[in-house]
Chain A
Amino acid sequence: MGKMPLNLFQLNLEKIPGFDAMTAEDFSGATNEEKASMIETRPSVSYWKDAARRFRANKVSMAALILFLLIFLFSYLGPLFIPYNYADQYRNSSKLGPREFSAKEQLLQKAEDISDLFFATSLMPGSLTSLSRSTTYYFKTQGVTYSFYVEKAIGDSVLLFNRDAENKLTLIKEKDLGKDALDNAKTVEYSTEAIDTKAPNVVELKMLKRICPHFFGTDSAGRDLMARTMYGGRVSIAIGIIAALIVLIIGSIYGSVSGLAGGTVDFVMMRLVDIIYSVPDVLIVLLLQVVLKNPLQSWLDASPSNFARLMSNLGVGIISIFITFACLYWVGMSRIVRGQVLQLKQQEFVTAANALGVPGRRIVKRHLLPNCVGQLVIATCLQIPSAIFLESFLSFLGLGVSIPMTSLGSLCSDALDTITLYPYRLLAPGLILTLLVLSLNLVGDGIRDALDPRLKK
């Protein structure tokens, strides 16, 4: 250590508070531990934890995430709670407004009010079509089995059970349904004698589920719009996620191959991307829809495999959407991945791995992918709403999913056909579609801000 050429007389003692009180101990050397203890180490937070913290701190994205989860639950768990199905057409229930009941349903509701239990034949899905003469019917309630048989076959009707009504069931025939139906009702006697419930001619009557209003109304064919909206939501969300995954997989493979290979291969691969990029995509999507529809249908009809059956449940429209995504929409993703790969290729750890003779596949897996995962997550998240958008657009034009399967887009399209008469039909699917895309956009933005705070403005 060099000499300190200090002119001690220059030191101004008044500037130093408590100079006289200082002891030699104060000026003894500090140990390394003491020095280290001066620095309060902040707990080091991992990248992902830090990102998660930032995401949680972002109120808008959290609200959007909750909104998305609500729509998700509505679509996937909702159908468990309503007795209607997306495909079933309920007789006499067509063109109902929101929360409305058909005349029959109103009567059933009245019956529900005045009786302890009630049964209906064929009015509701899953009920009997008629009661026949040679069969004993029974039903159980509170541990007691009641049985009865009818003298004459009875067609569509409602049977009311009242504990106080002295062994009699009230019977209302369908054709009598109306204002005074209850006054004109006939009765059927029942007994509480033990019967062999396993005998071939004995049939159990199931109590009807509670009458559920059509919250969103019904369409012109008598399908419940709420059930359809739920299933439409399912389809839209599933299409968005699957399409984004397809894009992710194809895009990352293509992009990383192009970026890693470099040179002529990269040049050729990227020119292909440029060309696909400059082709107006929606036009080609529409053409593909047209072209794929027939061959796909015939392939699905012909193929006996489970896969094909699953596919045909989805419908040709949806599959061709996936195919178009696989053909056209990966280019953006492949550009992102290639950019990341090229950037990372320059970095030391990759050069080091290369110098050590680590095989290319391993470099991709261990070094490149973990490093561009952030970008991939962001791009994938923002791909989902755009896939939903495209699907709804195609469905709206009548080129997406086909009846009776539905999606939010095709529901809007249906609603638009009768928009001047029944404007409310657009409300639920339109709103849910908008909120779905909105929430996914905001969640994607939130993830981007959380993963890459530099991008935040």
Chain B
Amino acid sequence: MENNTMKAAEKLLEVKDLKVSFYTPVGEVKAVDGISYDLKEHEVMGIVGESGSGKSVEAYSIIGLLQSPGKVIGGSIVFDGENVLEYDEEKMRQFRGNKVSMIFQNPMTCLNPVYTVGNQLMEALTCHNREIGRKEAWDRAVEMLKLVGINNAEKRMAQYPHEFSGGMRQRAMIAMALICSPKLLIADEPTTALDVTIQAQILELMKDIQKKTGMAIIFITHNLGVVAEICDRVSVMYAGQIVEQGSVQDIFYSPAHPYTRGLLRSMPRVDELEHERLIPIEGTPVDLLNPPAGCAFGPRCENCMKICLAHRPPLLDVGEDRHVSACWLHVKEMKEAQQE
């Protein structure tokens, strides 16, 4: 999969030490607690994690869609050389949907039920480009619908969302997201709410479109199988932090972090000859109101050590091609190697 990433591609997005907190009546929830990563042009990055690990919040802060009481409290998000956190409201609006667009989890509720699909497609175009005439916008929308594989596009334009099936609506959402030819598409669990067969179709479509247009994608999911299908790189998130990041090969064939390994073991694999038992990760996800002092994954980790109880592990390079992982186990091994 990674062979179609251009090696010398420029950095498109650079997230540095991003911190997002929700100020709730019961206390501060650090939904995203200092994450950093780079995304090159044309690259497809998967962000994997359990629900509540902060993966969607992180994506929303890129596009300025955080709802109160959520607030970015630190770090920077640099897109194409500009820090989007410094954008004012109007600039942010022009940025959204134009340079970066987003598709969401539940296609059933993401389209306004009282307007036709065509209407909603066209307004995504016209709000960024006032000169565009109605006819032109209509043609472009029809073209996009055709691109995402909707038959009978002209007729479909005049229909309301409830006349579309779930998969069709997600296709329409993708068409809407792509209508301004953005450089980056953020897909927030785009296949989770769909039937398995439809999921495969949508994934295939996204892969196809990515190849055609060459845009970068941030693909947020809790499903590792989906990641293997489409992504070049993977970030694994836990409790608002990135615990491991690397290429798809690294993550799947040489996972470094116990949490990643746990995720892989809990995932069914069809390609295995022997049927391995699926092993779930014990324990419950961390309570973000009261995160543990040391490693957030410590309480659920089978390799948990004394040092994990008190200190948060730093993110360390553990391999080629920017493969990083945050675990004291690596330090332990190094210590042991040193002593030998």
Contact = CB atoms under 8 A, between A and B. Distances in A.
Direct contact between the two chains A and B in their complex (CB within 8 A): yes
Interface stretch (B79-87, B142-150, B204-212, B299-307): B299-307
Interface residues of B, number: 37
A27 B328 contact: yes
Contacts of B289: 42
Interface in A1-42: 1-2, 4-8, 10-13, 15-17, 19, 22, 24-30, 34-40, 42
**Secondary structure class of chain B's binding surface, majority of residues:** mixed
B292 A11 contact: no
B329 interface: yes
B307 A38 contact: no
Given A22-B335, A30-B308, A30-B309, A7 B320 contact: yes
Contacts of B68: none
Interface residues on A, range: 20 to 34
Interface of A: 1-2, 4-8, 10-13, 15-17, 19, 22, 24-30, 34-40, 42, 57
B314 interface: yes
Contact of B306 (A7, A26, A40): A26
B314 A16 contact: yes
Contacts of A36: 299
Contact of A16 (B254, B256, B331, B333): B331
> Which among A29, A30, A37, A40 has the greatest number of chain B C-beta atoms within 10 A?
A30
Given A16-B331, A36-B299, A39-B299, A10 B317 contact: yes
B319 interface: yes
A12 B306 CA distance: 22
Nearest to B290: A40
B319 A25 contact: no
A41 B20 CA distance: 24
B330 interface: yes
Contacts of A10: 317-320
Contact of B294 (A22, A24, A38, A42): A38
B73 to A, nearest CB: 22
> Which among B294, B315, B330 has the greatest number of chain A C-beta atoms within 10 A?
B330
Contacts of B305: 26-30
A40 B309 CA distance: 13
B290 A11 contact: no
A34 B319 contact: no
Contacts of A16: 314, 316, 331
A366 B316 CA distance: 55
A16 B332 CA distance: 12
Contacts of B307: 22, 26-27
A24 B306 CA distance: 10
> Which among A5, A17, A19, A37 has the greatest number of chain B C-beta atoms within 10 A?
A5
A29 B261 contact: no
> Which among A2, A8, A28, A38 has the greatest number of chain B C-beta atoms within 10 A?
A38
B293 interface: yes
A446 B320 CA distance: 58
